[in-house]
Homo-oligomer: A and B are copies of this chain.
């Protein structure tokens, strides 16, 4: 491996000067600069990022802990986070969390000297939050938040759940299923609370049989689908806590011979891109802003890093309904 010392010897200057050519060329005379650059090219020198990080205690790297990509929401946020960071001179270390490998991920992150952390995978009462704060590394949560309400960029989850559910009521749906993930996560908790609120405001009674809260893997959702099928009184509409869930349920229903929305109405939350596809046309609730949550969060994080201050970011984006074609209007009952 060619080091700056090798370059220095080859060019007949000191290692210090090589370092200057690489990092602060304006401090170096033109002929010296050319001499050193020639040596760098000749020897194919590439600075060692590890050594640099060691001495500088920073890495121009941000760690991203994203949810799994089978949820298209994270496909979009990951893309926009990576792109924005790169445009601003930061590299991104992406980690995909399934909420089980969190421990390893944090080890990996803290071992490298990342300049910041942007993450979604956090529980409302997650003890890891304290660890993050103690580490002193700037960080921000996107999508989900922690119960202590610090450093997050989220959508108005309760309002989202409310809007989705209320929209179903407005189209005369009464028998509504809720399918969502564990309420230990702020997204699911907020959205479910909104769902409940809509029932209250519409003077409707919750039927516990129609509430499905559990893991959101394909297998689990299929079990849920089967349970819904077995209900004596089937729902006319499904309120899914995320578009990913909604799209998966659509798949089950259509594969089983049902028609959406004629046989069953489905609404999601997130306003994911693939839901806008003409073949899917998922009615959903999402943020009004054209910029996604990941992008908003990474902007804030980079500002925190560059300005070396750590304000408490608290952003709750407003949401609105996106009417598309997976909901049908029911006839009013007598």
Does A255 make an interface contact (CB < 8 A)?
yes
| A48: contacting residue among B54, B94, B96, CB under 8 A | B54
Residues of B within 8 A of A274 (CB): 274
Question: A69: CB under 8 A from chain B?
Answer: yes
Residues of B within 8 A of A92 (CB): 94
Q: Give the chain B neighbours of A255 by CB distance below 8 A.
A: 278
Note all chain B residues with C-beta closer than 8 A to A44: 134
Contact indicator B59/A69 (Cβ below 8 Å): no
Interface residue range, chain A: 35 or more
Q: Which residues of B contact A210 (CB under 8 A)?
A: none
Residues of chain B within 8 A (CB-CB) of A53 are 50
Q: Does A43 contact B (CB under 8 A)?
A: no
Query: Contact string, A27-69, partner B, CB cutoff 8 A, digits 1/0?
Result: 0000000000000000010111111111001010000000011
Asked if B111 and A86 sit within 8 Å, CB to CB, the answer is: no
Min Cβ gap A204→B in Å is 30
Q: A82-B96, A96-B79 are in contact. Are A112 and B49 (CB under 8 A)?
A: yes
Report Cα–Cα, A91/B104, bound state, in Å: 10
- Which of B50, B68, B79, B113 touches A59 (beta carbons < 8 Å)? B50
Stretch with Cβ within 8 A of B (4 or more), from A146-154, A232-240, A246-254, A303-311:
A246-254
The answer to whether B46 touches A107, judged by C-beta atoms less than 8 angstroms apart, is yes
Determine if A222 is an interface residue (Cβ-Cβ < 8 Å). no
Contact B86 A79 (CB under 8 A): no
Pick the contact of A111: B47, B94, B104, B247 (CB < 8 A). Answer: B47
Q: List 20 A-B contacts (CB under 8 A).
A: A1-B57, A50-B51, A50-B53, A50-B54, A50-B112, A54-B54, A69-B75, A69-B79, A70-B79, A75-B75, A86-B104, A91-B93, A93-B94, A94-B94, A247-B277, A250-B277, A251-B279, A255-B278, A277-B279, A279-B280
